[in-house]
Chains A and B, each alone.
Chain A
Amino acid sequence: MTTETIHQKFGPAEIGGIGHSVKRAEDDRLIQGAGNYVDDIVLPGMLHMTLLRSPVAHAKIVSIDASAALALDGVVAVLTGEALAGYNLAWMPTLSGDTQAVLATDKVRFQGQEVAAVIAENPYVANDALELIDVEYDALPPLMSPQDALADGAPLIRDDKDGQVDNACYEWEAGDKAATDRAFAQADHVVSLDTHYPRSHPAPLETCGCVADVNPATSHVTVHMTSQAPHAHRTLFAMVTGLPEQNIRIISPDIGGGFGNKVPIYPGYVVATAASLVIGRPVKWIESRTDNLISTGFARDYYMQGELALTSEGRILGLRVNMLSDNGAFYSDAQPTAFRAGLFHIVTGSYDYPAAHVVTKGAYTNKAPGGVAYRCSFRVTEASYLIERLVQTAAYELGIDPAEIRRRNFIQPDQFPYTSPTGFVYDSGDYPAALEMALEMVGYDEVRAEQAAARERGDATQVGIGIASFTEVVGAGKGSEYDIAGLRMFDSAELRVHPTGKAILKLGVRSQGQGHETTFAQIVANELGIPSTDIKVVEGDTDNTPYGLGTYASRSTPVGGAATAVIARKLRDKAAKIAAHLLEAAEDDLEFDAGRFTVRGTPDQSVTIQDVALAAYSNLPDGMEAGLEGVHYYDPPNMTYPFGSYVVVVDLDTETGQWTVRRMVAVDDCGVRINPMIVDGQLHGGLTEGYAMSAMQFITFDEDGNCIGSNFMDYLIPTAWETPRFELGATVTPSPHHPIGAKGVGESATVGSPAAYVNAVIDAVAHLGVRNIDMPVMPSRVWAALQSQAG
């Protein structure tokens, strides 16, 4: 349910500016099945590539014999690591300063690792050929947890790295240890929680893939690829391959969902490009779902030990976190360079206290590489989960109502901008208002009363209420602090108004379903008064768009949207000068509203923006450059901080451990909402992914290193049947530093909701002594928790 009524609509509906729920421009082609996804692309002479993957988690490669595969009719080439090594492409740099094997040479280091590539006339033959490649492995003991990997005497996984003596991957800390130790020394209570945020995977419905097209005559490279960050990818391609950057073109066409899965550069892209270069024909690589789940960027896998220091009134004095992350075989997190654990240090959350100390360590294991993905805002999912679970635990241990303990600790509205103990400057917020709205929507007191009665009776079905009051940090980011592989995290917008008053907007970000073709047009419409339906939005083609860092971590609106507003305002300034010229008036005497410049006091003396647009090409003031266009690269002064309060009510069958969501109330504040309909859609999707993580979703491994969770029978995506119904509420607390006051919202619900769901389930059985159940909270785990309390 959208709360349209509270959102300010700027300007009339016909212009479709900010605040209007404009129907999406991108829908017209998608509802006709006329989208252009990578696998839809067919080029003359195109070949198909498929990758041979390691069946074992850790082994030396003794030999690879591809002769039988090569002999198969229809097979054009087989590439191995050895062949790529000849082009210096067997290894490539990662976005976290490590290296990653493109095709394995010495060893395989995770089950599913890329070992060889078959390029054939069609995918059926390519798959036939895979079975004919004979690889001899010499098995090594696999290390399947970071604890095992860091234990004394553990075999070395990254023996390819000079100077690597163990399986430690990185260390990083934030906050103030001394101040935190003092806070803990003063505490009346210390509450602790050990929890594992399991490995999961963004699993968009479209897998990753590319069509690599190297023109044999010119050696110009065009790669059509599933990319959330085409410009960054182009630069990295140039650096990795040595090919000249001006001759590389990355085209990211329609993408069937990203969620962070399509940010890294995967071996498949590199191999396909190398194959196209070597063979001289386009090469298509579309991974299977198993390829996708077993090898591409997983998410989470953080072991978190948190402690809260509290007074007896439940006031937080300090937070201490020790975190161990499972990074897989290569450290390939896509995150800002300065932060080894992403933005995990937002873990202090929505609460006001002076001291925190966060120590994070990463370990290599024999699993696929990754970690930063799945709508995590650079690890804010992990952080938010920990603090909200800790606060809930504190509520139980101190005997304070979970809503009340939050009220006592919230950063108050008059404290913004607020500097957190780990150095974030929260821009704006009203946490109490969001919580109160959520509690009222759910009827908190009534449900608590119902719960008390059910507990009294000892009913087989119990009720649980879970709260999560999260603060997000998005909009990376200020260039002096945030860069990816050295590329500062500005973003860009290039706007040109045509003589007939229409416009084209080109962006450095790249939607994967978030509706940029609509929402960014609305930003321009808002500033210039050109109807949003007259504005074409282009993204994804590096030859035709300004340089940007792409779309992930909810950064498009905060950074790209800001760039768009700024350039639109610059054009409006120029338009005002042209209008003054047309009206023979002074610029200061003009007013602008809904696309019309009017001489103040004389309403019949006006020109439209369309008049001005034509004049920009046909009737300019002396000395003025023709055209009405410009580009802006926006460097955000700060991050933005969306927030919210979610309340979940569950009914739990204590005999079987099954639980269902009776209510899911989500109050979100993402500042000014450009398109409320689209914002609600983002929230629905995120609340569903949060439900999935809390209820059923994880990738796990057996002790031999076999991946369990490499297909959709084991890695579960909820259907419409079990997905809860959602009730949305909203508050609007604009960002004071953002040109249109917007904050970004794409990941708020995945950040905030898992703790709400899990808190609800724990709450249903807390009276029986249960304090923690790690996700996914499957019926078996609830049952086991109840058994261990009963026994």
Chain B
Amino acid sequence: MYPAAFDYAAAGTLHEALELLADGDDDTKVLAGGQSLIPLMKLRLAVPAKLIDINGVPGLAGISAPNGHLAIGALARHNDLGQSELIAAENGTMAAAARWIADPLVRNLGTVGGSLAHADPQGDWGSVMLACDAEVIATSRARGERTIAVTDLFVDFFTSALEPDELLIEVRVPRSKSAAGGTYLKLERKVGDYATVGVAVHLEMDGDRIGRAGVALTGVGSKNIKATDAERLLVGEPPGEELFAAAAELAAAAAEPRTDVRGTADFKRSVVRTYVRRGLADAAAQAKSK
């Protein structure tokens, strides 16, 4: 309930934040929304020696569409994404996902950047960004900016590809060039529960065939899972029930669920199958209506 002691510094600029990170060590952590980190600290499961508060760094919370992609600042709060008219118009997967994250209060403080950097296999944005083929921009004092595809970002259980001195500053999601649709389905026992299963689906059409397909899974592995076999099956095909059922089978096979209090591995796999099937139908219907 009461965390161990730590040193604290609040950065007023990005430069300052990077300096503090560079001068820190493995026990230095970034404090953004804190909605994942602080609970761990209160239970003393995380005991950072130093926290660098980046909430005061300007220019990291915007949501815009500069050049063919959606640019979402790492400090954009979950609720900002949920309320964004731009996102609602542009990307059904992102628009659907925001409301599934934690609860309204946590969504007021938690950030998309923090969520992705945390690499929790229960993180909803992780699957959304995998399905949307997003990338993140990370920067450090020593090496400057680099782009990391989200497919390379999640290394393992709570382990991202970010270096200890790097700060994730932006998420970039490609804009759909043609009719597109997407959704996020989550089986949770109550608002705020971790996902028993979460499924992100994103489809872009190419004429009357599927041009791009993204299917990614939450809570059924040691990290968020991109169901690439399912995606490959979908590309180039006209949407249809049988196709979606077949893709759902491949997605279920790609899942690595574990039996726990929320259900057996078989159950979770079955929900993956059902949700992918339903999600694809929903996404296709959205794309058709555009």
Q: List A residues at the B interface (Cβ < 8 Å).
A: 123-124, 126-128, 131, 288-290, 655-658, 695-696, 700, 708, 713-714, 716-719, 721-722, 778-780, 783-784, 787
Contact = CB atoms under 8 A, between A and B. Distances in A.
17 contacts: A123-B1, A123-B2, A290-B1, A656-B270, A656-B271, A656-B275, A658-B187, A719-B103, A719-B192, A778-B262, A779-B187, A779-B196, A780-B196, A780-B262, A783-B270, A784-B263, A784-B264
Contacts of B193: 713, 716
B190 A716 contact: yes
Contacts of B274: 655-656
A290 B266 CA distance: 31
A658 B1 CA distance: 34
Contacts of B177: none
B142 interface: no
B4 interface: yes
Which 10 pairs between the two chains have the least Cβ-Cβ distance? A780-B263, A288-B1, A127-B2, A719-B191, A780-B267, A124-B2, A696-B189, A655-B274, A721-B191, A783-B267
* Interface residues on chain B, size class: 20 to 34
B194 interface: yes
Interface in B163-208: 187, 189-194, 196
A714 B5 CA distance: 27
A128 B4 contact: yes
B44 interface: yes
Nearest to B197: A656
B261 interface: yes
Given A128-B4, A658-B187, A779-B271, 15 more contacts: A127-B44, A128-B5, A655-B274, A656-B187, A696-B189, A713-B193, A713-B194, A718-B190, A719-B103, A719-B192, A778-B189, A778-B263, A780-B196, A780-B262, A783-B263
A779 B275 CA distance: 14
- Which among B4, B190, B196 has the highest number of chain A CB atoms within 10 Å? B190
A511 B196 CA distance: 39
A656 B267 CA distance: 8
Contacts of A714: 261
A524 B120 CA distance: 59
Nearest to A657: B267
Contacts of A716: 189-190, 193
Contact of B44 (A131, A695, A719, A779): A131
Nearest to A712: B192
Nearest to B266: A787
Contacts of A719: 103, 190-192
Contacts of B103: 719
Contacts of B270: 655-656, 783
Interface string B252-286: 00000000011110110011001100000000000
Contacts of A713: 193-194
Interface in B116-148: none
Contact of B190 (A123, A127, A696): A696
Nearest to B193: A716
A779 B263 contact: yes
Contacts of B263: 778-780, 783-784
Contacts of A288: 1
Contacts of A124: 2, 5
- Which among A700, A708, A719 has the highest number of chain B CB atoms within 10 Å? A719
Contacts of A656: 187, 270-271, 274-275
Contacts of A718: 190
Nearest to A287: B1
A408 B191 CA distance: 42
Given A779-B196, A783-B263, A784-B264, A695 B1 contact: no
B124 to A, nearest CB: 16
Given A127-B1, A714-B261, A722 B190 contact: yes
A658 B197 CA distance: 12
Contacts of B264: 780, 784
Interface string B1-16: 1101100000000000
A714 B193 CA distance: 8
A288 B264 CA distance: 31
A32 B11 CA distance: 37
B102 to A, nearest CB: 11
Interface string B46-65: 00000000000000000000
Contacts of A123: 1-2
A338 B261 CA distance: 37
A353 B103 CA distance: 50
A293 to B, nearest CB: 13
Contacts of B2: 123-124, 126-127
Contacts of A126: 2
A289 B42 CA distance: 12
Contacts of A658: 187
Contacts of A708: 261
Contacts of B190: 696, 716-719, 721-722
Contacts of B189: 695-696, 716, 778-779
Contacts of B191: 719, 721-722
Contacts of B194: 713
A717 B191 CA distance: 10
- Which among B267, B271, B275 has the highest number of chain A CB atoms within 10 Å? B267
A288 B44 CA distance: 14
A39 to B, nearest CB: 12
B163 to A, nearest CB: 30
A700 B187 contact: no
A695 B264 CA distance: 17
A700 B261 contact: yes
B279 to A, nearest CB: 13
Contacts of B187: 656, 658, 779
Contacts of B262: 778, 780
B257 to A, nearest CB: 11
Nearest to B275: A656
A127 B47 CA distance: 13
A128 B2 CA distance: 9
A708 B260 CA distance: 10
Nearest to A695: B189
B120 to A, nearest CB: 13
Interface string B195-234: 0100000000000000000000000000000000000000
A128 B4 CA distance: 7
Nearest to A655: B274
A721 B99 CA distance: 12
B34 to A, nearest CB: 17
A111 to B, nearest CB: 16
A778 B2 CA distance: 33
A714 B43 CA distance: 15
A713 B192 CA distance: 8
Nearest to A126: B2
Contacts of B1: 123, 127, 288-290
- Which among A126, A708, A783 has the highest number of chain B CB atoms within 10 Å? A783
A700 B262 CA distance: 12
Nearest to A717: B190
Nearest to A692: B190
A719 B4 CA distance: 31
Contacts of A721: 190-191
Contacts of B192: 719
Contacts of B44: 127, 131
A778 B260 CA distance: 12
B118 to A, nearest CB: 16
Contacts of B266: 787
A701 to B, nearest CB: 11
Contacts of A290: 1
A435 to B, nearest CB: 31
- Which among A656, A717, A778, A784 has the highest number of chain B CB atoms within 10 Å? A656
B21 to A, nearest CB: 27
Nearest to B47: A131
Contacts of A717: 190
